[in-house]
Amino acid sequence: MRSCIIAFLVLNMLVSCGKKEEKEQAQQPVAIKKNKIVKVVTKRVQKVSVTETKKAYGYAVPFKSVDVFSKVNGVVLKKFRELGETVNAGDVLAVVRQDIPGMEFADHEVKANLSGTIFKDFTEEGATVTVQKPLFNLARLDPILAEIKIPEEWLTRINFEQPINVNLEAFPTQTFQARLYRLLPQNDSKSRSAIARLKISNPNLKIKPGMFVTAEFKFSRHDALVIPVDALVRSGLEYYVFKVQNNVVHKQLVQPGELFGRNQEILNGLQANESVVVFGQNLLEDGVQVEVEEVQ
């Protein structure tokens, strides 16, 4: 019995020693982590003058579009032009013969009432036409318009003289220049938006109605604090950076603003010339000592 008690006490001591050793080992990495110096790359917060850029989207539409009607009822005797052809005002597009039994009339010439492109063709030779239904739709495509939806708060910031860059999915490597041509009088009360029409030069008729358009508006310049976008870390709904002071990092919540290329505007949380980590954030936590390599 005595030997059993001694064996139990020895076993209990061994277990206690083992737990103490495990606890010390578990605490050791934390101590090492806090004492370890981490190498990071930093950059200073810069105060720069930036141009605010906003994008809006829409579709290309003809600069002008008109329907062409016959002035008499009858049958299309001859068509001279087809869909997609370019015409001048006054060109004869078709001839209509009045079809009234027992009576003879001079054939009626249907003429273009606009210089442009035959955008829609509603008839064929031999078809019966009336004065109420159009035979053709003509569209002027040079210049061409981009009809886009813009937030109504932009209305006080845009003007008819400012240049606007326009990009189309059909021509991803090309940028077109546009100007504000007209603001439509009605606003959309649900989306609080307005319709703007931009005029774009289109001499080769490359831009077709219906093409998707992205318009880039540049507004007034202002001073802004910016950091490299790589310095910004997101956690849930919050954004933060690691700010370096005396070779120690501090986690700092920030409020991001506009993105200017690879630079992120910071509205709150930083001051000009402060140092922030741009590389190595994954090794950091608040209070860690760092070895700094600063880049310009």
CATH classification code of 65-140: 2.40.50.100
Interior angle at CA 284, CA 278 and CA 286, nearest 5: 110
CATH homologous superfamily for 54-61+141-221? Efflux pump adaptor protein, beta barrel domain (2.40.30.170)
For residue 225, what are the contacts with CB-CB under 8 A and spacing of at least 6?
45, 46, 47, 265, 266, 267, 270, 271, 272
Yes or no: domain 37-50+223-294 corresponds to CATH 1.20.1300.10: no
Residue at token pair 């009360």 = 189
- pTM of structure: 0.65
Q: How confident is the model at residue 3 (pLDDT cuts 50, 70, 90)?
A: low
**pLDDT tens track for 22-52:** 444 444 444 335 567 888 899 999 999 888 8
CB atoms within 10 A of CB 251: 16
| Alpha-carbon span 279 to 291, nearest angstrom | 12
**pLDDT tens track for 85-116:** 999 999 999 999 997 766 677 899 999 999 99
Q: Where are the domains of the chain?
A: 37-50+223-294, 54-61+141-221, 65-140
